[in-house]
Amino acid sequence: MASPSDAPAGASYVATGGEFTRDTDYITTRITADGRDGYPVEAGRYRLIVARACPWANRAIIVRRLLGLEDVLSIGFCGPTHDQRSWTFDLDPGGVDPVLGIPRLRDAYLKRFPDYPKGITVPAIVDVPTGQVVTNDFAQITLDLSTQWSAHHRPGAPQLYPEPLRAEIDEVAKRIYTEVNNGVYRCGFAGSQAAYEAAFDRLFTALDSVSERLSTQRYLVGDTITEADVRLFTTLARFDPVYHGHFKCNRQKLAEMPVLWAYARDLFQTPGFGDTVDFEQIKAHYYIVHSDINPSQIVPKGPDLANWLTPHGREVLGGRPFGDGTPPGPTREGERVPAELLR
Taking residue 200's Cβ as centre, other Cβ atoms within 10 Å add up to: 20
Asked which of 18-27, 238-247, 290-299, 331-340 is least confident by mean pLDDT, the reply is: 18-27
Q: What is the pTM of this model?
A: 0.95
For position 11, what pLDDT does the model report?
Answer: 42
- From the list 300, 241, 290, the residue with the least C-alpha distance to 268 is 241
> Where is pLDDT greater, at 22 or 281?
281
- pLDDT at residue 16 in the model: 54
Radius of gyration of the chain (CA): 19
- Report whether 238 contacts 308 (CB < 8 A): no
Lowest mean pLDDT among 3-12, 50-59, 126-135, 228-237: 3-12
Active site residue 286: no
Confidence tier at 3 by pLDDT (50, 70, 90): very low
Catalytic pick from 26, 46, 54, 286? 54
- Looking at residue 341, what is its pLDDT? 55
Residues 6 or more apart whose CB falls under 8 angstroms from that of 225 comprise: 66, 158, 160, 219, 267, 270, 321, 322
DSSP string across 200-232: HHHHHHHHHHHHHHHTS-SSSSTTS--HHHHHH
CA distance 298 to 283: 10
pLDDT at 152 over 90: yes
Category of 234 on φ-ψ map: left (φ > 0), alpha (ψ -120 to 50) or beta: alpha
The mean per-residue pLDDT over the stretch 176-187 comes to 98
Give the Cα separation of 11 and 53 in Å (integer).
Answer: 18
Among 185, 219, 286, 287, which one carries the catalytic annotation?
185
Burial environment of residue 32 by CB neighbours within 10 A (0 to 12, 13 to 18, 19 or more): middle
Q: Determine whether the annotation assigns residue 87 to a binding site.
A: yes
8 A C-beta contact, residue 160 and residue 225: yes
Residues belonging to the chain: 343
249 is catalytic: no
**Cα(144)–Cα(31) distance, integer angstroms:** 7
The pLDDT mean for the chain works out to 93
Name, in order, each residue with C-beta under 8 angstroms of 283's C-beta and a sequence gap of 6 or more.
241, 242, 299, 300
> Which pLDDT tens digit goes with each residue over 68-111?
999 999 999 999 999 888 999 999 999 999 999 999 999 999 99
Contact 229, 219 (CB under 8 A): yes
* Degrees, nearest 5: CA angle 196-51-259: 55
What's the confidence (pLDDT) of residue 84? 81
- Please tell me the predicted confidence (pLDDT) of residue 21: 80
Candidate from 15-24, 158-167, 307-316 with smallest mean pLDDT: 15-24
Kindly report, residue by residue over 210-255, the tens digit of the pLDDT.
999 999 999 999 999 999 999 999 999 999 999 999 999 999 999 9
Helix/strand/coil percentages in the chain, nearest 5:
40, 10, 50
pLDDT at position 339 is 72
Give per-residue burial for 253-269: e unless 16+ CB within 10 Å, then b.
ebbebebbbbbbbbbbb
State the amino acid at position 290 in one-letter form.
H
Domains (range + CATH), the chain: 12-152 (3.40.30.10), 163-342 (1.20.1050.10)
